[in-house]
Amino acid sequence: MIDPERITAELHRELGAVREERPAVRHAGVVAQLRLAGDVTTAGGRAVVRAEFPAPELAVRLRRDLVELYGHAAARTDVVSASGRPLRYLVRVTGNGSDLARATGLVDRLGRPVLGLPPAVVGGGAAVAAGVWRGALLARGRVVRPAGRTRIQVTCPGPAVVLALVGAARSLGVLAAGHETATEHRVVVRDPESVETLLRAVGAAGVADVLQRCAEVATPAPPPPSASLESVNARRAAEAADRTTARVRWALDVLGPEAPPHLRAAGLLRVEHATLSLSRLGLLADPPLSKDAVAGRLRRLVAFAEEQSASH
């Protein structure tokens, strides 16, 4: 049985232990944390950058990254505990807050706060997208389990940040969707394969393994098929494969070179081997994939194509 609070704490612990050496990726993670966990305000004509965390380890990690990445711009950075229950920890940059805000791209050239994420971070490619999501998960990410289904959820300060995170997820081959309630904006990752892909991309392979094992235990083995139904099942499977192949061929035509490589590879396997089962297709993949993994990639390929077609 999965305890969402415990697995969320483990997620934060595992992400906090990731040692990223690429400056652009570290920068993306820091910007995401500052944008989701804090704000930029003005006091006495100077910008004040602050971020709030539920655990001191996360705050101390951000302070270290600020000093190592931005030097003098973050020299006067401190971590303080805030009153209230539960206890919160603040990372605050005051004296050089304006310099830090400009260095991170949290303000534009006119000194106005950026609504979403800086353009350089949003369009930085898959590695930077992983950094963005690592920072987002550290700042406001948690594992939830409504109706017994595990999901990844990130609370965002506004719709512009939601769009930025959805776009970053797409760069990783992950299906994420925005969700607005009466009190907050969220990004939710529901698809089990997308959850696993995201966790491994950001460096939380341990949590991904735990969730995968729990899912396998919770899924009962299907009953053996009746011999009298074998021919009916075979015909239905062939018809379903034909429909899927037609949709995949259309998706490949729509996306062209814009299709994520791993989704394109799954689509080409389906088109080239239209009569094979998903299990057999998975054995042909490099590296081999499970039946569910192949099905998930084909679904996401078609979904991307539908989004692309709708936007034109």
d(CA 93, CA 287): 46
pLDDT for res 214: 81
Q: Is 23's pLDDT higher than 60?
A: yes
Sheet with 151-156, strands from edge to edge, namely 141-144, 151-156, 185-189, 177-180
Least confident among 77-91, 196-210, 249-263, 297-311:
77-91
DSSP code of residue 147: G
Tokens (6 digits) for 5: 């609070």
d(CA 14, CA 258): 32
Q: Is 229's pLDDT higher than 60?
A: no
Compute the average pLDDT of residues 119-130: 88
pLDDT for res 96: 67
Q: Is 8's pLDDT higher than 80?
A: yes
Identify the helix (H) or strand (E) that includes residue 247.
Answer: helix 230-255
pLDDT for res 72: 60
Which residue would you say has higher pLDDT here, 174 or 114?
174
48-98: pLDDT as tens digits? 788 888 888 888 888 888 888 887 655 555 666 665 556 677 887 776 667
Compute the average pLDDT of residues 95-107: 77
pLDDT for res 57: 86
Least confident among 19-28, 88-97, 193-202:
88-97
pLDDT for res 105: 85
CA torsion angle 122 124 129 135 (round to 10): -70
pTM of structure: 0.67
The residues near 38 (Cβ < 8 Å, ≥ 6 apart) are 49, 50, 51, 52, 91
Compute the average pLDDT of residues 245-260: 86
d(CA 223, CA 235): 19
Identify the residue whose tokens are 């006067």. Answer: 76
d(CA 121, CA 138): 17
pLDDT for res 58: 86
Which residue would you say has higher pLDDT here, 48 or 31?
31
Protein fold of 4-213: Endonuclease I-creI (3.10.28)
140-194: pLDDT as tens digits? 999 998 877 899 999 999 999 999 999 999 999 999 999 988 889 999 999 999 9
Is residue 227 very low, low, confident or very high in pLDDT (cuts 50, 70, 90)? very low
**What are the DSSP calls for 61-78, one per residue?**
HHHHHHHHHHGGGGTTEE
Alpha-carbon separation of residue 196 from 117, 205, 207, 209, 296 (angstroms): 24, 8, 9, 8, 11
Compute the average pLDDT of residues 217-223: 60
| Domain range annotation of the chain | 4-213, 231-311
* Residue 170: exposure state from Cβ atoms within 10 A (0-12, 13-18, ≥19): middle
d(CA 210, CA 74): 37
Task: Report helix, strand or coil for 258.
Answer: helix
pLDDT for res 76: 55
Compute the average pLDDT of residues 222-246: 65
Could you give the percent of the chain with pLDDT greater than 90? 32
Task: Report helix, strand or coil for 239.
Answer: helix
The residues near 31 (Cβ < 8 Å, ≥ 6 apart) are 104, 105, 106, 117, 118, 121, 132, 135
pLDDT for res 36: 93
Q: Euclidean distance between the first and final Cα of the chain, in Å?
A: 44
